[in-house]
Amino acid sequence: MKIIIIGIQGAGKSTQGNLLSKELGIPYLSTGHIFREIAKEHTALGRYIKETMNAGYLIPDDKTLEIVSEYLGRPEYQKGYILDGFPRTTAQAEAFKNGINKVIYLKVSDKEALWRLSYRDEQREDDTIAGIRKRIELFHKFTEPVIEYYRQKGLLVEVDGEKSIEEIQKSIHDSLQKSA
Ligand code: ADP
């Protein structure tokens, strides 16, 4: 089973991604996490990724595709995965031909997203007000078209991300049962 979780920053993708990973017994993978690990490296690539992320910008599509393909080629991802943070642009979605089964869209308003990110327990280096606003702006500009791309392909499941963690988990579970 190959699943994508998509939604605005602060929508709860990693919370639900990890819960779903336990339920289905397939690994959860987030491109944000991968990039944060690379950003720690004292290499030219590490420094470049760190600066790009801290400014709230996206890593270029070709670099992102290269890194994601390398990860997904690893043995632990051969039975499937839950992918968070990718594809984030239509170019990434079009280039990514991995036989995705479902795309779960966690729908949360900008207001709720901003509130959650400002009070996130674990503060990240890119969680400045300017950085968060930039990421939300880029979500509308680049990632909403990706949601429409998968809707047209009939793969999209829309879930209300403003409910409780348990209710959202159940909605995701039910939507996967229905389409199984
Ligand atoms: P958030 O969902 O809060 O924006 P993520 O952890 O998903 O945080 O991503 C953090 C940063 O990593 C992004 O702002 C961007 O710079 C980079 N990034 C993650 N995924 C992608 C992607 N698919 N394409 C380009 N850049 C990405």
Instruction: Say yes or no: CB of residue 58 within 6 Å of ligand 1.
Output: yes
- Which residues are bridge partners to 30 per DSSP? 84
- Report pLDDT for 125: 84
Counting from 1 in the atom list of ligand 1, the atom nearest the Cα of 139 is: 4
Counting from 1 in the atom list of ligand 1, the atom nearest the Cα of 117 is: 3
Residues 158 and 171: their CA atoms lie apart, in Å, by 9
Of 120, 121, 125, 80, the C-alpha closest to 98 is: 80
Instruction: Say yes or no: CB of residue 35 within 6 Å of ligand 1.
Output: yes
Instruction: Say yes or no: CB of residue 135 within 6 Å of ligand 1.
Output: yes
- Report pLDDT for 16: 97
Residues 14 and 71: their CA atoms lie apart, in Å, by 18
Residues 114 and 119: their CA atoms lie apart, in Å, by 9
- Report pLDDT for 171: 97
- Report pLDDT for 128: 84
Residues 6+ apart with CB under 8 A from 76: 27
Backbone φ/ψ region at 99: left (φ over 0), alpha (ψ -120 to 50), beta: left
> Mean pLDDT throughout 135-160?
96
Residue 162, helix vs strand vs coil? coil
Residue nearest to atom 23 of ligand 1 (CA): 86
pLDDT in tens, 40-71: 999 999 999 999 999 889 999 999 999 999 99
Counting from 1 in the atom list of ligand 1, the atom nearest the Cα of 36 is: 12
* Residue among 58, 64, 133 whose CB has most ligand 1 atoms within 8 A, to mutate: 58
> Mean pLDDT throughout 17-24?
97
**Which DSSP string corresponds to 110-133?**
HHHHHHHHHT-SS--TT-SHHHHH
> Mean pLDDT throughout 59-86?
96
Residue 180 pLDDT greater than 90, yes or no: no
- Expressed in angstroms and rounded, the spacing between residue 178 Cα and the centre of ligand 1 is 30
Residue 14 pLDDT greater than 90, yes or no: yes
Q: What is the mean pLDDT of the chain?
A: 94
Residue nearest to atom 19 of ligand 1 (CA): 32
Residue 155 pLDDT greater than 90, yes or no: yes
